[in-house]
Amino acid sequence: MKYICILFLFVNILSCKKKSEDKKEIERSTVTDIEGNVYQTVKIGDQWWMAENLKVEKYNDGSSVNEVLDTEHDSIWSKKMDGAFYYNNISSCVLYNGFVVKDARKIAPEGWHIPTDDEWKTLEKTIGMSSSDAEKTAWRGTVEGNKLTSKYSTGWPSTSILLGTDEYGFNAVPGGNRVYDGYKNTKGSMSFWWSSTSKGTDLWYRYLDYQKTSIFRHYVDMHYGFTIRCVKD
């Protein structure tokens, strides 16, 4: 009986140790923008990412980004040839056009920047996407979208097949988007993020959809309105 108890205790210790090793320890911190907004941040691999979407309305030199209001006609948005943002009241997310991304005054907090397409690919490979898939366009990978999505898919539709595990603390929530002609998609079923990498006059971006578990990559006209996540310099 004595030996059985010792064996049981040993197995139990090993089991607890394995559970502890299997659990991902997420390293967290914060960053503050020029307006005093404080954002949660997480370390994913060797990168530090914001765990929230950017919501600042000023560039780093203190000048304001142009706001296009709900009451204004869609054509106001579509004709913008400089930085502009639209506040999505439904998702409580700020959608920026691509001109904000490329503005020399910079929108990211000091010491941070809008990720390049390659930095997005580094994130994707860190969470399990193959190198070959990361280089493709359109839907890539398998369940990497799940790993970035908010825990239990909080904020996403109840019919979502995007089963959020939020294993790395990225906490992706649906921010909606605004199309080049000004049309607003404010439904909480998708999220888009800019990269800072150009493709001709377009920019590369990333996209999650409630009906997919993978991650979409492509490039698009800068008149679109997407959310922004920043990465540390």
- Span 138-154, pLDDT tens digits: 999 999 999 999 999 99
Examine residue 118 and state whether it is found in any structural domain, yes or no. yes
Q: How many domains does the chain have?
A: 1
Task: Give the closest residue to 193 by CA, choosing from 171, 208, 181.
Answer: 208
pTM of the model: 0.89
Examine residue 2 and state whether it is found in any structural domain, yes or no. no
Q: Could you tell me the sign of the dihedral formed by the alpha carbons of 65, 98, 216, 132, in that order?
A: negative
Contact 141, 123 (CB under 8 A): no
Examine residue 158 and state whether it is found in any structural domain, yes or no. yes
| Residues of the domain holding 62 | 27-232
Examine residue 191 and state whether it is found in any structural domain, yes or no. yes
Examine residue 3 and state whether it is found in any structural domain, yes or no. no
Examine residue 13 and state whether it is found in any structural domain, yes or no. no
Element (H, E) at 123: helix 117-126
- At 131, the pLDDT band (50, 70, 90 cuts) reads very high
Least confident of 11-15, 210-214, 227-231: 11-15
Examine residue 5 and state whether it is found in any structural domain, yes or no. no
Residue 35 CA, chain-centre distance (Å), reads 21
